[in-house]
Amino acid sequence: MKKFTSLIVVLLCLLGFQAQAQVHLIPSAGLTVSSVNKDAETAKAGYRLGLNVRIGEELYVQPGFFYTKNSAELDKDAFSNNAGDIKYDHEGFEIPVMIGYHIINSDAFKFRGHLGPQFGFGYTGSISQGFDGIDTNSTQWTLKAGLGIDVLFFTLDAEYGWGLSDSFTITEAGNSTSYKSRSFNLTLGIRL
């Protein structure tokens, strides 16, 4: 009986917290431009679709869930086979957890900054040229920082991400080269 009573008390406290906390669901779609930490590549545009949940008013926490697909083109001169430029396609799921602060926080307009980690999983990759092998790291960590504005119920976020773990490794003639991703995201959302 004590456990049941304790559970009821905790649930009531959580409901009270939710009633006091400002919570917004933000379905979002946007552009992502991804590159890697090597000079011999060209960034290509991709897309991201998902949902953020913003919890809080002036200081907020914003977890999210996104599906992302992007690509990069690696310069053929960086590899010994010189078979032509190499296109690398990459897709997976991302869970960012941002901590942010509203610098301007009026009803009609908000300007905010945010920073936090992002965990990626389920990544798959393919490459257009024949190499001994490509190994895509299916789980990846990224540090992200960004700025955003809210105008009425629309949100616009610009973020930059630095890969903390390797995105993929290409093996050519027995030599392996690992790449960390860098990304720029521009995401438009509707605050519900």
Q: Quick check: is 12 in a domain? A: no
* Containing structural domain, residue 110: 24-190
Per-residue pLDDT, 87: 74
Q: Quick check: is 19 in a domain? A: no
> Both tokens of residue 40?
């011999």
Per-residue pLDDT, 90: 83
The predicted-structure confidence for 82-126, as pLDDT tens digits, reads as follows: 556 677 788 999 999 999 999 999 989 999 999 999 999 998 877
The predicted-structure confidence for 129-176, as pLDDT tens digits, reads as follows: 655 567 788 899 999 999 999 999 999 999 999 999 988 777 777 777
Q: What is the largest CA-CA distance in the chain?
A: 73
Q: Quick check: is 180 in a domain? A: yes
Q: Quick check: is 18 in a domain? A: no
Q: Quick check: is 11 in a domain? A: no
Q: Quick check: is 137 in a domain? A: yes
Q: Average pLDDT for residues 23-49, to the nearest whole number?
A: 85
Give the closest residue to 57 by CA, choosing from 11, 118, 105, 4: 105
- CA gap 147, 157 in Å, rounded: 6
CA distances to 15, 42, 123, 129, 189 from 47, rounded to whole Å, are 36, 17, 15, 23, 14
Q: Quick check: is 63 in a domain? A: yes
Is residue 145 a contact partner of residue 155, using CB atoms and an 8 Å limit? no
Q: How many degrees, rounded to 5, is the angle at CA 36 between CA 175 and CA 72?
A: 95
Residue 58 pLDDT > 60, yes or no? yes
Residue 11 pLDDT > 60, yes or no? no
Average pLDDT score, the chain: 83
Contacts of 34 (CB under 8 A, 6+ apart): 43, 44, 46, 70, 71, 72, 90, 181, 182, 183
CATH number for 87: 2.40.160.20
Residue 44 pLDDT > 60, yes or no? yes
> Both tokens of residue 15?
């409901």
Q: How confident is the model at residue 37 (pLDDT cuts 50, 70, 90)?
A: low
Q: Quick check: is 16 in a domain? A: no
Beta carbons within 10 angstroms of residue 191's beta carbon: 17
**Residue of higher predicted confidence among 182 and 172:** 182
Query: For the chain, what is the domain count?
Result: 1
Per-residue pLDDT, 14: 46
Beta carbons within 10 angstroms of residue 48's beta carbon: 20
